[in-house]
Amino acid sequence: MFAKILASIASHFGLVQFTLMDIPGSKEAPISSLIHFTTLPRPFVESRDLTGLFHIAPCRDRHRPAGAPLQWALEDIEARDDRSRTDFAQRMRALRISMGIVFTCTTSSQQQMGLLFFGDREPLGSKEEAALNNLARRALRRYAELKDHPGTQLGSLSAREMEVIRWTAEGKTSHEIGGILGLSDHTVNAYLANAIRKMDCVNRTQLVAKTIRLSIID
Protein backbone atom coordinates (compact mmCIF):
# COMPACT_ATOMS: atom_id res chain seq x y z
CA MET A 1 0.00 0.00 0.00
CA PHE A 2 2.71 2.52 0.94
CA ALA A 3 4.72 1.71 -2.19
CA LYS A 4 1.61 2.42 -4.28
CA ILE A 5 1.27 5.81 -2.62
CA LEU A 6 4.88 6.68 -3.47
CA ALA A 7 4.44 5.42 -7.04
CA SER A 8 1.38 7.63 -7.44
CA ILE A 9 3.27 10.67 -6.15
CA ALA A 10 6.19 9.99 -8.50
CA SER A 11 3.93 9.54 -11.52
CA HIS A 12 2.05 12.77 -10.81
CA PHE A 13 5.29 14.74 -11.11
CA GLY A 14 6.63 12.88 -14.14
CA LEU A 15 9.18 10.94 -12.12
CA VAL A 16 9.88 7.29 -12.89
CA GLN A 17 11.70 5.76 -9.92
CA PHE A 18 11.69 6.15 -6.15
CA THR A 19 13.46 4.80 -3.09
CA LEU A 20 12.69 5.08 0.61
CA MET A 21 15.72 4.25 2.73
CA ASP A 22 17.66 4.90 5.90
CA ILE A 23 20.53 7.33 5.40
CA PRO A 24 23.78 5.57 6.30
CA GLY A 25 25.83 6.97 9.16
CA SER A 26 29.56 6.68 9.64
CA LYS A 27 29.40 2.88 9.91
CA GLU A 28 29.16 0.69 6.84
CA ALA A 29 25.90 -1.23 6.56
CA PRO A 30 24.60 -3.74 4.00
CA ILE A 31 22.65 -1.76 1.45
CA SER A 32 19.76 -4.23 1.70
CA SER A 33 19.33 -3.34 5.36
CA LEU A 34 18.87 0.34 4.50
CA ILE A 35 16.17 0.00 1.83
CA HIS A 36 12.49 0.04 2.75
CA PHE A 37 11.03 0.45 -0.75
CA THR A 38 12.65 0.90 -4.15
CA THR A 39 11.77 0.56 -7.83
CA LEU A 40 15.41 0.64 -8.94
CA PRO A 41 17.01 -2.52 -10.36
CA ARG A 42 18.74 -4.70 -7.78
CA PRO A 43 22.23 -4.50 -9.41
CA PHE A 44 22.10 -0.70 -9.19
CA VAL A 45 21.05 -0.78 -5.56
CA GLU A 46 23.75 -3.30 -4.65
CA SER A 47 26.42 -1.10 -6.26
CA ARG A 48 25.93 1.26 -3.28
CA ASP A 49 25.32 4.15 -5.66
CA LEU A 50 22.33 5.14 -3.54
CA THR A 51 24.42 5.64 -0.42
CA GLY A 52 26.97 7.61 -2.40
CA LEU A 53 24.27 9.85 -3.81
CA PHE A 54 23.94 11.71 -0.50
CA HIS A 55 27.60 12.73 -0.80
CA ILE A 56 28.15 13.32 -4.51
CA ALA A 57 24.89 14.82 -5.76
CA PRO A 58 25.34 18.60 -5.76
CA CYS A 59 22.45 20.86 -4.91
CA ARG A 60 21.24 23.14 -7.70
CA ASP A 61 20.74 25.90 -5.16
CA ARG A 62 23.92 26.50 -3.18
CA HIS A 63 21.96 28.53 -0.63
CA ARG A 64 19.53 25.70 0.13
CA PRO A 65 18.36 25.92 3.77
CA ALA A 66 19.15 22.97 6.03
CA GLY A 67 16.55 20.24 5.60
CA ALA A 68 15.25 21.61 2.30
CA PRO A 69 14.90 19.27 -0.71
CA LEU A 70 18.12 18.51 -2.56
CA GLN A 71 17.53 18.57 -6.31
CA TRP A 72 20.32 17.40 -8.60
CA ALA A 73 20.98 16.86 -12.31
CA LEU A 74 23.45 14.54 -14.04
CA GLU A 75 24.97 17.48 -15.87
CA ASP A 76 26.06 18.91 -12.51
CA ILE A 77 27.68 15.60 -11.51
CA GLU A 78 29.38 14.98 -14.84
CA ALA A 79 30.88 18.46 -14.80
CA ARG A 80 33.10 17.47 -11.88
CA ASP A 81 36.54 15.97 -12.46
CA ASP A 82 35.92 12.83 -10.43
CA ARG A 83 35.80 9.29 -11.86
CA SER A 84 33.36 8.02 -9.23
CA ARG A 85 30.91 10.78 -10.14
CA THR A 86 31.28 10.07 -13.84
CA ASP A 87 30.66 6.35 -13.32
CA PHE A 88 27.61 7.16 -11.21
CA ALA A 89 26.24 9.43 -13.93
CA GLN A 90 26.74 6.77 -16.58
CA ARG A 91 24.83 4.19 -14.57
CA MET A 92 22.02 6.68 -13.99
CA ARG A 93 21.85 7.53 -17.68
CA ALA A 94 21.61 3.81 -18.52
CA LEU A 95 18.42 3.78 -16.44
CA ARG A 96 17.15 6.84 -18.36
CA ILE A 97 17.51 9.02 -15.28
CA SER A 98 18.75 12.56 -15.79
CA MET A 99 17.71 14.22 -12.54
CA GLY A 100 16.41 13.55 -9.06
CA ILE A 101 15.37 15.07 -5.78
CA VAL A 102 16.04 13.94 -2.20
CA PHE A 103 13.95 14.58 0.91
CA THR A 104 15.17 13.72 4.40
CA CYS A 105 13.75 13.52 7.89
CA THR A 106 14.84 12.36 11.33
CA THR A 107 12.66 9.86 13.18
CA SER A 108 11.95 9.98 16.91
CA SER A 109 14.65 7.32 17.33
CA GLN A 110 17.12 9.75 15.67
CA GLN A 111 17.46 7.67 12.51
CA GLN A 112 17.76 9.74 9.36
CA MET A 113 15.58 8.62 6.47
CA GLY A 114 15.64 9.65 2.85
CA LEU A 115 12.95 9.63 0.17
CA LEU A 116 14.51 9.80 -3.29
CA PHE A 117 12.70 10.40 -6.56
CA PHE A 118 14.32 10.01 -9.99
CA GLY A 119 13.21 11.01 -13.47
CA ASP A 120 14.12 12.04 -16.99
CA ARG A 121 12.62 15.50 -17.21
CA GLU A 122 13.45 19.16 -16.76
CA PRO A 123 14.27 20.26 -13.20
CA LEU A 124 11.24 20.82 -10.99
CA GLY A 125 10.13 24.43 -10.87
CA SER A 126 9.66 26.16 -7.53
CA LYS A 127 5.90 25.50 -7.42
CA GLU A 128 6.30 21.85 -8.36
CA GLU A 129 9.09 21.39 -5.83
CA ALA A 130 6.99 22.97 -3.10
CA ALA A 131 4.02 20.71 -3.91
CA LEU A 132 6.19 17.59 -4.01
CA ASN A 133 7.94 18.68 -0.80
CA ASN A 134 4.59 18.83 0.98
CA LEU A 135 3.61 15.33 -0.14
CA ALA A 136 7.05 13.84 0.48
CA ARG A 137 7.26 15.28 4.01
CA ARG A 138 3.86 13.86 4.86
CA ALA A 139 4.86 10.46 3.50
CA LEU A 140 8.14 10.48 5.42
CA ARG A 141 6.50 11.52 8.69
CA ARG A 142 3.79 8.93 8.28
CA TYR A 143 6.21 6.11 7.55
CA ALA A 144 8.67 7.20 10.25
CA GLU A 145 5.96 7.14 12.89
CA LEU A 146 4.82 3.70 11.82
CA LYS A 147 8.44 2.49 11.77
CA ASP A 148 9.02 3.79 15.31
CA HIS A 149 5.89 1.98 16.53
CA PRO A 150 6.10 -1.61 15.26
CA GLY A 151 2.64 -2.42 16.62
CA THR A 152 1.17 0.00 14.09
CA GLN A 153 1.09 -1.51 10.62
CA LEU A 154 0.10 0.58 7.64
CA GLY A 155 -2.40 -1.27 5.50
CA SER A 156 -3.27 -3.77 8.24
CA LEU A 157 -6.76 -2.31 8.64
CA SER A 158 -9.43 -3.94 6.52
CA ALA A 159 -11.74 -1.89 4.32
CA ARG A 160 -14.63 -2.57 6.69
CA GLU A 161 -12.58 -1.56 9.75
CA MET A 162 -11.67 1.74 8.10
CA GLU A 163 -15.30 2.30 7.15
CA VAL A 164 -16.37 1.79 10.77
CA ILE A 165 -13.61 4.14 11.98
CA ARG A 166 -14.74 6.84 9.53
CA TRP A 167 -18.30 6.70 10.84
CA THR A 168 -16.97 6.73 14.42
CA ALA A 169 -15.01 9.86 13.53
CA GLU A 170 -18.32 11.39 12.41
CA GLY A 171 -19.63 10.88 15.94
CA LYS A 172 -21.83 7.88 15.20
CA THR A 173 -22.49 5.26 17.91
CA SER A 174 -22.04 1.54 17.29
CA HIS A 175 -25.81 1.18 17.01
CA GLU A 176 -26.02 3.97 14.43
CA ILE A 177 -23.10 2.57 12.44
CA GLY A 178 -24.73 -0.84 12.47
CA GLY A 179 -27.90 0.65 11.03
CA ILE A 180 -25.98 2.45 8.27
CA LEU A 181 -23.88 -0.58 7.28
CA GLY A 182 -26.45 -3.28 7.97
CA LEU A 183 -24.41 -4.81 10.80
CA SER A 184 -25.20 -5.77 14.37
CA ASP A 185 -23.85 -3.68 17.26
CA HIS A 186 -21.71 -6.66 18.25
CA THR A 187 -20.11 -6.84 14.79
CA VAL A 188 -19.39 -3.11 14.74
CA ASN A 189 -17.76 -3.33 18.17
CA ALA A 190 -15.71 -6.31 17.00
CA TYR A 191 -14.38 -4.31 14.02
CA LEU A 192 -13.48 -1.43 16.34
CA ALA A 193 -11.80 -3.77 18.83
CA ASN A 194 -9.69 -5.31 16.07
CA ALA A 195 -8.70 -1.87 14.77
CA ILE A 196 -7.80 -0.66 18.26
CA ARG A 197 -5.54 -3.69 18.71
CA LYS A 198 -3.90 -3.34 15.29
CA MET A 199 -3.22 0.37 15.78
CA ASP A 200 -1.89 -0.12 19.31
CA CYS A 201 -4.53 2.15 20.85
CA VAL A 202 -6.48 1.95 24.11
CA ASN A 203 -9.92 3.17 23.00
CA ARG A 204 -11.88 4.36 19.99
CA THR A 205 -11.11 8.04 20.68
CA GLN A 206 -7.38 7.41 20.43
CA LEU A 207 -8.00 5.17 17.40
CA VAL A 208 -9.81 7.93 15.51
CA ALA A 209 -7.18 10.52 16.42
CA LYS A 210 -4.30 8.28 15.38
CA THR A 211 -5.77 7.18 12.06
CA ILE A 212 -6.51 10.81 11.16
CA ARG A 213 -3.00 11.89 12.18
CA LEU A 214 -1.46 9.15 10.05
CA SER A 215 -3.78 10.03 7.15
CA ILE A 216 -5.17 6.49 7.12
CA ILE A 217 -8.62 8.08 7.09
CA ASP A 218 -9.53 11.61 6.02
In this structure, are residues 100 and 117 in contact, taking their beta carbons and an 8 Å threshold?
A: yes
Q: Which of 195, 206, 202, 213 is nearest to 158 (CA)?
A: 195
Q: What is the pLDDT of residue 55?
A: 56
The rounded percent of the chain whose pLDDT value lies above 70 is 78
Supply the mean pLDDT for the chain: 81
Q: What is the pLDDT of residue 59?
A: 46
Distances, alpha carbon 85 to alpha carbons 78, 112, 118, 150, 217, in Å: 6, 24, 17, 38, 43
3-state secondary structure of 202: coil
Q: Please report which confidence band the pLDDT of residue 27 belongs to, taking 50, 70 and 90 as the band edges.
A: low
Q: What is the pLDDT of residue 179?
A: 94
pLDDT in tens, 134-173: 999 888 887 877 666 555 554 468 888 889 999 999 999 9
